[in-house]
């Protein structure tokens, strides 16, 4: 099975291959149609959907996968959260699913709320380079108990449900 992944970020491609082990995942740079730093669940899901559809349209694949990281306020909880959503489509049907939500430290949240992108803010505060392409905020904020790739496996597997089980 060929799966077009709407990103060249290696953690997104690796997460897709772990969630869909029968697939050969092909990274494709596509437009998300939303800001670089999506805000709110709706914008984040829209970005994931747009990436999945654009990736599928770009090559002759069986499925398109889109993954988007966003920040959102969540009813019932204080602070700003990192959220992550995935979308899967075969051109006719689609599914979406979410990964974990992680509360951002105040210093990070303040800069992101002021308009900065999360990845560069994390790199700046941690003195790292490209943390979003490695362990990610998920790794840093959980003391490495999980990392961005494993967090995204949950989002992609959840979104892919309709294509891998008859339960839908």
Ligand X SMILES: O=P(O)(O)OP(=O)(O)OP(=O)(O)OC[C@H]1O[C@@H](n2cnc3c(O)ncnc32)[C@H](O)[C@@H]1O
Segment near ligand X (CB under 6 A); pick from 8-16, 73-81, 93-101, 157-165: 8-16
Single residue of 94, 95, 97, 119 touching ligand X by CB under 6 A? 119
Dist CA 134 CA 152 (whole Å): 12
Q: Report the binding-site residues for Mg(2+).
A: 60
CB within 8 Å of 19: residues ≥ 6 apart = 153, 156, 157, 160
Cα dihedral 36, 63, 91, 94 sign: negative
| 39 HSE (CA, 13 A, CB side) | 9
- The nearer residue to ligand X, 7 or 89, going by C-beta atoms, is 7
* Site map 70..109 versus ligand X, x via CB under 6 A: ------------x---------------------------
Q: What is the DSSP letter of 39?
A: B
CB nearer to ligand X: pick between 12 and 154 = 12
Contact 25, 13 (CB under 8 A): yes
Q: Could you list the residues that contact ligand X (CB under 6 A)?
A: 7-9, 12, 37, 68-69, 82, 117-119, 122, 131-132, 136-138, 148
């Amino acid at each position: 099975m060929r799966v077009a992944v709407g990103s060249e970020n290696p953690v997104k491609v690796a997460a897709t291959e772990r969630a869909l082990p029968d697939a050969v995942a092909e990274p494709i740079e596509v437009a998300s149609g939303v800001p670089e730093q999506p805000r709110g669940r709706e914008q984040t899901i829209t970005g994931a959907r747009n990436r999945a559809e654009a990736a599928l349209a770009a090559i002759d694949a069986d499925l398109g996968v889109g993954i988007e990281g966003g920040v959102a306020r969540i009813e019932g909880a204080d602070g700003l959260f990192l959220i992550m959503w995935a979308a899967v489509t075969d051109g006719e049907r689609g599914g979406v699913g979410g990964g974990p939500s992680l509360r951002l430290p105040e210093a990070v949240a303040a800069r992101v709320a002021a308009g900065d992108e999360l990845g560069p803010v994390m790199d700046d505060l941690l003195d790292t380079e490209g943390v979003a392409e490695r362990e990610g905020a998920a790794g840093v904020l959980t003391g490495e108990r999980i990392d961005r790739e494993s967090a995204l496996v949950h989002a992609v597997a959840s979104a892919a449900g309709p294509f891998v089980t008859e339960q839908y």
